[in-house]
């Protein structure tokens, strides 16, 4: 059973790595331009601090995942407990970054009539579509990390709560 958990954890880590890398690549490449009154406006991820934070958080998660995959996971050692703590940090980091980016994406899509912010997705649909794909991948990575956190917690806490005859 322990071998199955390690294999499942390894596969989840590979899937989360793929999701974070795709989220980074799509977000960094998101760009669209429009012309209004002979002025050209360009929408790109680097114009918004929340999107920058999203990319940085996804990059941190990607690097962490690569490091953990390269290490030999041993849930009975101190390394296993450190991985649980770091899995929790990465899960929270991904959750906060996706939340911030989703808030900005919502304003870009719907606008905010109370603040006088107009929606921009009608003018730059390619940019909004790319941001949507990136946010979906980021959300998938966050879900994978939440499942990894549960698996890591179970692996570390099982020996503590095991009933010994």
pLDDT digits (tens, 9 = 90+) for 62-108: 999 888 887 765 545 567 677 888 889 999 999 999 999 998 888 88
Mean pLDDT for 104-121 is 81
Angstrom distance (rounded) from CA 71 to CA 137? 25
Tokens of 98: 């996706």
Phi-psi region of 34 (alpha: psi -120 to 50; beta: other; left: phi over 0): beta
* Mean pLDDT computed over every residue of the chain: 83
Quick check: 20 pLDDT over 80? yes
Enumerate the domain spans of the chain.
1-162
Determine the pLDDT at residue 122.
Answer: 80
Angstrom distance (rounded) from CA 90 to CA 149? 9
Question: What percent of the chain has a predicted confidence (pLDDT) above 70?
Answer: 89
Determine the pLDDT at residue 134.
Answer: 93
Determine the pLDDT at residue 76.
Answer: 52
State pTM to two decimals: 0.83
User: Could you tell me which residues are beta bridge partners of residue 98?
Assistant: none
Better-predicted residue by pLDDT, 89 or 8 = 89
- Which residue carries 């719907």 as its tokens? 110
Question: What percent of the chain has a predicted confidence (pLDDT) above 90?
Answer: 33
Better-predicted residue by pLDDT, 7 or 143 = 143
């Amino acid at each position: 059973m322990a071998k199955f958990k390690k294999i499942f954890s390894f596969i989840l880590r590979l899937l989360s790595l793929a999701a974070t890398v795709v989220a980074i690549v799509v977000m960094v490449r998101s760009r669209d331009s429009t012309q209004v009154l002979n002025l050209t406006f360009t929408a790109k991820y680097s114009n918004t601090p929340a999107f920058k934070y999203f990319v940085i958080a996804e990059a941190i998660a990607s690097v962490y995942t690569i490091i953990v995959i390269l290490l030999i996971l041993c849930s009975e050692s101190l390394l296993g407990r450190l991985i649980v703590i770091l899995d929790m940090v990465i899960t929270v980091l991904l959750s906060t970054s996706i939340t911030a980016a989703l808030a900005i994406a919502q304003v870009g899509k719907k606008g905010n009539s109370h603040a006088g912010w107009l929606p921009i997705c009608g003018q730059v649909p390619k940019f909004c579509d790319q941001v949507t794909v990136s946010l979906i991948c980021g959300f998938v990575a966050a879900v994978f990390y939440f499942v990894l956190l549960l698996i890591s917690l179970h692996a570390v806490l099982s020996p503590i709560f095991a009933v010994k005859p």
